[in-house]
Amino acid sequence: MRILGLDPSLTSTGWGVIEVDGNKIKYVADGIVQTDAKMDLAERLVKLHEGICEIIELYKPDEAAIEEVFLNSNPHSSLKLGQARGVVFLAPAKYNIPVSEYEPNKIKKAVVGVGHAEKTQVQTMIKILLPGCKPKNADSADALAIAICHNNFRKSK
């Protein structure tokens, strides 16, 4: 089974794909879908959607998982994140891929063992849990953590 983890952002959406075989997980790929802040919002959302669709077509995941949204102190930023998140949520659904959501603290706890872990701790554990994996950046490491979290909790949903 392949799981696609997605860490939504309007600027840099992280993605990570893992392969699950019984109790074993294996790194497949990771990266980011970036948009240019100079583009119109609609153009950025289209680019984000197209990027996620390309990843789905290339890696053919069976399930997807997304980090639940958190409220930002800036309402304008929260609204933009919500719009990007909607597009990221839509892409797998368009391919009839089930999508699950996880709270940030649950993701960190699933990977590090502590719900309030630092990003560096998550990145270190990703490298331990997925030997040979060198995440492209913090966003793609977070996406891999989301995929691992989903693998840990998918049967209990």
Asked whether residue 156 carries a pLDDT value surpassing 70, the answer given is no
d(CA 73, CA 28): 35
Q: Give the residue-averaged pLDDT of 104-117.
A: 85
Asked whether residue 79 carries a pLDDT value surpassing 70, the answer given is yes
Enumerate the active-site residues: 7, 67, 139
Domain range holding 142? 2-156
d(CA 118, CA 141): 12
Number of domains in the chain: 1
pTM for the model: 0.93
pLDDT at res. 24: 93
CATH of the domain at 61: 3.30.420.10
The predicted-structure confidence for 34-59, as pLDDT tens digits, reads as follows 999 999 999 999 999 999 999 999 99
- Asked if residue 29 lies in contact with residue 157, where contact means CB atoms within 8 angstroms, the answer is no
pLDDT at res. 118: 81
In percent, how much of the chain has pLDDT > 70?
96
